[in-house]
Structure 1
């Protein structure tokens, strides 16, 4: 009987050591993380931590309880990139040193609108920002006629260090663009630039994503037939998008971006498009459409003839 009890004690001791060793190795062992965390005051901590790999495992929960149940963790946005163990991650969250600033660049913003938005944060100087863009042009792999970065500042939510400067923002945005559009996939620089120009027009004209390939087919069809693109968005770009509604007198402005006056694509993008718009520019729908007009609900009515186009315009006045 004593031998059985002794064996049980030994087995339990071995299991305890094994479990302790596992927990210890999970807490102290480093793993690679590429994670964005948003710690919010108004929601349970474990809800905020659920995007952290391993946070649902028992070792992490036990260690978090040991660390005052996370009560010393500071709210904010954090980017956890690199090799860390659980202890180091909690240290970062408690110290607040890894806190980031979240900046969202809306889809379809032009470079000028983007810079104006960044200036409103109070940390970006317009002249310094453009200076950093000019420096970045030296190593940027895509076509930049006249150093024009229109189209290349990818619309995204960026997490930047609290002490970010103009160089940090430029670097983050261009890296994101190259991540979305790797050079090895889009090798023909001039062809890509033309697609980027088309994509920027689609970004401004189409409110519904599924319509972008159809709208692309309209513009390509018009180019093939020697027609003007007649895009209000390209003209509004000349007015810095200050026009809520384009009037006939506005369409008379003499600019290479006025696609009512000049055939073909404008000389450059009119905004910074999304991946969805670029893919639509590369993969237009197969249609015979030559016209489209807004329905009023965000969608468009597409037509093959001018007569049909006029009829729908009259019906939707």
Structure 2
């Protein structure tokens, strides 16, 4: 090859490299402009959503906030009533600022109010109307008892509530709409699909007869809100939400004192990791379908997938509605070497890391339960 041809090729390659560099530069510039544009647009939109929807408006809107409403449902109500621009941004803003303590009731709000003014009004609790209907579900309540307690407070019969809760098409619809629910609630072994998903709390409604589906969905939404608070732990866990709620329900039924909940949760995880049966009495009571003060040897032999004395792993689903402290305990269990725990009637829980010590504990304190049962 001649020296001239070599120089021409070098010149040509240098020209191609220059073109490639220009193309890369242009592409990068375009991408950066798009990112900047999207970010700027998002910033402008979010900023505008925090400002008054109509600053000069003299209109006031009557808005009802049910007791127990989540920030998500409050945002949705405010958006639908036309006092804020975006309910989702309201929810994230409230979460970011860690705003809590919203009061239920009927408020007069205006599109001329900014987000902070609306938040202040909802926390101040100056309402113009008291709720028409109220009920409270205690933590650890069984599904069947929840139905009875709701029926006592609302103008629906137990049969109506039960029929709605167990309607297969309705439950499938809920599974599609709520991230906390998945196909596990539809499995054949599940006694009640929504057992453990109806959050225990006080609920207030401004109508004398709210839609039954609205009542149910408020309870599921509250549970979802309390669970997704632990999204980081959920993502890192090897267990599904359904499994974690099942564990939380067991902790709820086992622990009388708050300080024991994370320790008991840790023991349950330890037993599962060791391949041991959980062998917890509340699952036996649930399998039998009766609240038991103490569990007999005969009780532990009942053939039910909920009986953790007979079957390994977790029961098919939750055995009660866990409260936020039991949920937190399962999401943030206390690490220990304990594999056994024994609850005394006075609420004290004794922990052991070997079976021999656990048996001695049982023998020492079992008579207390027999005496307590006799006095019942």
Higher helix share: 2
Distance 1:218 1:123 in 2: 43
Partner of residue 25, structure 1: none
Distance 2:127 2:279 in 1: 54
TM-superposed deviation, 1:262: 0.7
Tell me if 1:110 matches 2:142: yes
Partner of residue 243, structure 1: 292
Which consecutive residues of structure 1, in runs of 5 or more, have no partner in the other structure? 1-27, 38-76
Say whether the 8 Å CA contact 2:65–2:106 is kept in structure 1. yes
After TM superposition, list the pairs within 5 Å mapping 1:12-91 onto structure 2. Answer: 79-81=105-107, 83=109
Tell me if 1:154 matches 2:202: no
Partner of residue 8, structure 1: none
Choose the corresponding residue for 1:210, options 247, 259, 262: 259
TM-score (norm 2): 0.58
TM-score (norm 1): 0.68
TM-superposed deviation, 1:31: 9.5
TM-superposed deviation, 1:234: 0.6
Tell me if 1:274 matches 2:323: yes
Say whether the 8 Å CA contact 1:143–1:189 is kept in structure 2. no
Partner of residue 261, structure 1: 310
Partner of residue 272, structure 2: 223
Distance 1:189 1:285 in 2: 17
TM-superposed deviation, 1:160: 1.4
Please give the root-mean-square deviation of Cα atoms over the aligned residues, in Å.
Answer: 3.4
Distance 2:271 2:185 in 1: 28
Distance 1:251 1:175 in 2: 35
Partner of residue 225, structure 2: 179
Tell me if 1:292 matches 2:292: no
Of the structure 1 ranges 175-184 and 275-284, higher mean CA displacement relative to structure 2 is found in 175-184
Deviation track 1:239-259 (CA, whole Å, cap 9, x = no partner) reads 233322221111110001110
Distance 2:107 2:309 in 1: 49
Higher strand share: 1
Alignment CA distance shift 1:224-1:175 (3 Å): closer
Query: Match of 1:103, SS?
Result: strand
Which consecutive residues of structure 2, in runs of 5 or more, have no partner in the other structure? 1-57, 68-102, 114-120, 187-192, 368-376
Query: Match of 2:203, SS?
Result: strand
Say whether the 8 Å CA contact 1:228–1:263 is kept in structure 2. yes
Say whether the 8 Å CA contact 1:78–1:100 is kept in structure 2. no
Alignment CA distance shift 1:298-1:144 (3 Å): farther
TM-superposed deviation, 1:78: 6.3
Distance 2:64 2:228 in 1: 20
TM-superposed deviation, 1:218: 1.2
Partner of residue 5, structure 1: none
Query: Match of 1:99, SS?
Result: coil
Say whether the 8 Å CA contact 1:199–1:277 is kept in structure 2. yes
Of the structure 1 ranges 197-206 and 294-303, higher mean CA displacement relative to structure 2 is found in 294-303
TM-superposed deviation, 1:179: 2.1
Alignment CA distance shift 1:217-1:102 (3 Å): same
Choose the corresponding residue for 2:182, options 136, 143, 150: 143
Aligned length: 246
Alignment CA distance shift 1:225-1:280 (3 Å): same
Tell me if 1:170 matches 2:205: no
Say whether the 8 Å CA contact 2:135–2:149 is kept in structure 1. no
TM-superposed deviation, 1:125: 2.4
